[in-house]
Chain A
Amino acid sequence: MTVEELSIEDVVIDLNEVDFSDIEDKYRVDADSGIEEYVVVDGAPIAPESKVPMLKKVLTKLFTNVKARLTSGEDVDAFHMPIENGKTTGYMFVQFATEKDAELAIKSLNGKKLDAKHRLFLNKLSDVEKYGAEGAVNDEAPTPKVPEFKETDYLKSWLQDESVRDQFMINFGESLVVNWQKHKNIEPAMERLDFNTGFSTFSPKGSYMLTLHPQGIQSWGGSQFENIRKFYHPEVRLLDFSPDEKYMVSLSPEPIKLPPADHPARASFPFGPEDEGHKLIIWELSTGIPVRSFALPPNLEQNKKIEWPLIKWSHDGQYFARKGPDALAVYESSSMALLEKKLIKIEGLQEFEFAPAGVKLAANKKDEVSSVIAYWTPETSNQTARVTLMELPSKKILRTSNLFQVSDCRFHWQDEGKYLCVKVDRHTKSKKTIFSNLEFFNLEEKEIPVEKIELKEAVINFAWEPKTDRFVTISRLDQGPINLAIPKNIINFYAPETDNKKGKKNATSAINLKKYKNFKSIENKHSTNLNWSPKGRFLAAAAIASSNSKIEFFDMDYDGNTVLASDEKLKNENVKASLKQIGDADHFGLTNLEWDPSGRYLAAWSSSWRHKIENGFKIYDFAGHPLVVEGIDNFKQFAWRPRPATLLTGGDRKKVRKMLREYSAQFDEQDAMEASEATKELILNRRRLLEEWSNYRASVERKLQQLNIKIDVSEEVEDIIIEEIKEEIIEEKTEIIE
């Protein structure tokens, strides 16, 4: 049979055998499409037919309130309510304008309580079809895969260092380095070169090191700084931690965006649909699980500069709070839910601050401590400005204090939570100049007495000395525009007045009101920053961002025989302090300062994030002697590794103090040995270098001889000094002497 002979009639086709699946695929009608804007509403009240228009009206209002548009047009009824026996059935089909409106309605109204008996349930019609059918959803929950336990190195290993050294991290160029520090000796503990990280930090107790990357955060730990967890948070910018190191808070300008439902990335994606669009995330630091996320309040979305941290934690990490417009949201960390499921309404709430330690209120039983929160509200037409102290979780108001003509308030808690200083910036009636009041709340006394210091100047910085009741302020007279070139700042030192009438306790002393006394003021300073050593006693006052950056070191207890004449006066002033400036250091380009956890060393650095001048870091001892000076190009950041709280009891520490002389002799001996070792090594090294050099020179000279090249370097030329005396007649004058 040839091709021409073949005609179509001859071919018999069995239609059953033809594969049409490709065509069927192409023209298949998707049953789901077209019903996306339908929502099944359940739980509505069952009403007689006559009341249907009323019900529709109520529901329409509900939907318009959340801005979900119903389908509209003439003769179009958005509601399809089946009616049985003259009554509605409680469920209905509602048609929205678009799929988006349907989603919006579900999101905002699903679970909405209409009244005591009725609660609305909204579901997409397509979802009902999809999941409602028998067998559409697997009845058996698949066991989630538990990732295999990976053992990490001991996270506190750095505390076991034999010579009890501290660690610090430096971040420069494309490198991240962690060093050991002992006095002048720096030894690397970890080096990551070509490591692209933004901001990096240690967790509050030092167990983890966290680095920021474009995709998220990584945590590192153990003696080798292994990678422990990754926290997926694209474009993350800011980090914060709960004080117990359990939680980490991160903020990114990028909202969380879920991959599509069927995308393979979805399975390993740490966030659920409830996190969509959120920017603020709380993580459990040890597991890397996001435990809660928040959207940024709309009033902050526009802000270019975000005040950070947005979430503040109570001293034990049990509660955390966020500030909202006219409300404070306090959450319980254990459940990540609102305390008593309610916001605390506070009209005009400006700022709040948790006490940094448990407060032993006078009403508390022995050793019982409370979480205390302080906040302030501004003046309104019929109310004064007010500072309030509240106990948590009882929400009991402990104390309020009324203030007038307030422009701003700052809270300064003493580190043990014993005292709170509220720095109140007040304005004169003309609102032209600012001056400050300091209000002191003594938390441990009955009724919480308040003492007030009224000043003529504006206080620009305030710092409690850790573990004491002394403090230092920097103030300046507010006289219009600031000329940075003229040093106008005043450093003021305060201490409570000691009772000079010993034994004569009068009746009022039942309320132990502390009288703070300004026992020393140093005027005409550029200083702007106050940094107390974490153990107290030593203070570094620094002038930053002025043409002559300088750090001054003060000792608050400079006792001893060498009290200078000028300080003599202080002794008579009934304060427990003997102040002396023990050092100062010019530090060009200074941008940041940080004391090491032991309070013996101060690190100061110039970060290229601020400017490109003299980038690098220096480590000073507490008296301002520079020990380490490193200029590093593109130096970004320095951070001491924090230490957890000491485990020694009060008794142990007393013992150490008693034995200090012996211990220090031992340490001195060790130091001397190390120093002599180092010198020895240096000398040996130099000797080696010198020998290498002379060998090299000898070989070169031999070679030159072989090549027969004469180098007449030592050809001495006799200096001939020719002195020329030139006479020049400047002026000739003839004077006739009579």
Chain B
Amino acid sequence: MVEVKHITKSFEGRTVLNDISAVFEAGKTNLIIGRSGSGKTVLIKNIIGLMRPDSGKILYDGRDLTAMNKQELKLLRCEMGMLFQGSALFDSMTVLENVMFPLDMFSNDTYKERLKRAQFCLDRVNLSEAGHLYPSEISGGMMKRAAIARAISLNPKYLFCDEPNSGLDPKTSLIIDDLIHDITAEYKMTTIINTHDMNSVMNIGENIIFIKEGVKEWQGNSQEVITSNNKALNDFIFASDLFRKVKEVEENEIKEQNKSIK
């Protein structure tokens, strides 16, 4: 479980995160949503320790990241996996070498064991045939899957995903969402996903935090999103015609159900 308590972050006098508190539960896909520039990326960067908050605490199963020294932070990072928006695979390494990289750096296993683990991770994301290829030789969806394989190679307790579906077609996005969801449940990881993809919100949003202008505006799950009366959330989620129609259909169904009960 990851918990943020009263996080505040400012840049040159401009407050980007204002007193944000939230709990991200283990075994669930936790989503941070919000418009571009709302502070999502700054929040996730604070949570993973790439930035230091001005005030507040970030607790990893009770361990405060903001109070850790370099060595403690290094140990904690071995428990983290991260999927970046652009995949961030190392260009000079093959897919298999990318997945083996964290193992080579931190595992004390033999080469055979490391190779076996890397191949298992590639197999888990259905990429066992692409191990010998370089990132430039595979598609965007395959890159995301390879990055997921690398992120889970050390069997992390915490998985962070920054815009995992950006640049992907809807079908591939669904595959990536399902993969992240399944892996989260399978390994009981605390997964935090930074997204503004509404399909992801509806599909895998087990715990959703909506941020508006650096303030936590709303928290709930994908079912509660539909019925929420929060205006800012509704303006954000139902900005497209498609989702407005989905909401209307859902609300009509609820009304009819209520009538039939009466």
Tell whether A pairs with B. Answer: no
| Residue positions of A touching B, CB distance < 8 A | none
